Copies of this chain bind each other. A is one copy, B any other.
Amino acid sequence: MSGRNFPTAQDAENAFYEALERCDLEGMMAVWAEDEDIVCVHPAGPRLTGQDQVRESWARIFSGGPRARVHIASQVAISGMMLVVHSVHENFTLEGGSKGDARPAPVVATNAYLRTSAGWRMIVHHASPAPSQPEPAARQAAPKMLH
């Protein structure tokens, strides 16, 4: 598929959101593990599993071209040797919008990454709309390392 190699789960996450912003289907699929157990849940969507369903969903989402910037905030990271889980807030800004415009509701996402022979790859992306209210207590904790 792709020769890209992500040395850390964070590198894979950065590439995931860059591909999402650019509507870059090949860049997006290069982030995912080449595995039929990959799981993707788009906001308000059903669970998709496997390369075919996941690729098809991103192709459909990207068909309209780039329209939004996404700012990732409030990351919580739980890191094992072979598996890493990140929880993030995805804050989207629509292209052409000004600061005064109504902004889309934030999305909360759980992303899991797997250490493969080809570096770290995404294995789970679960995103759902979150009520647009600030989190009661802002978190700036350092990533938790288990090893």
Contacts and interface: CB of A to CB of B under 8 A. Distances in A.
Interface stretch (A15-23, A64-72, A136-144): A136-144
B80 A135 contact: no
A83 B47 contact: no
A35 B43 CA distance: 28
Chain B CB count within 10 A is highest, among A46, A79, A114, A131, for A46
Each complex incorporates copies of this chain amounting to 2
A124 interface: yes
24 contacts: A37-B76, A37-B78, A39-B76, A39-B87, A39-B110, A41-B110, A43-B128, A44-B128, A44-B131, A45-B131, A46-B135, A47-B87, A47-B108, A53-B137, A78-B112, A78-B123, A78-B124, A80-B81, A81-B82, A83-B83, A85-B123, A85-B124, A110-B110, A126-B128
Given A44-B131, A80-B83, 14 more contacts: A39-B110, A41-B108, A44-B128, A45-B131, A46-B131, A46-B133, A46-B135, A80-B80, A80-B81, A83-B83, A85-B85, A85-B123, A85-B124, A126-B126
Interface of A: 35-37, 39, 41, 43-47, 49-50, 53, 74, 76, 78-85, 87, 89, 108, 110, 112, 114-115, 123-124, 126, 128-131, 133, 135-137, 139, 141, 144, 146-147
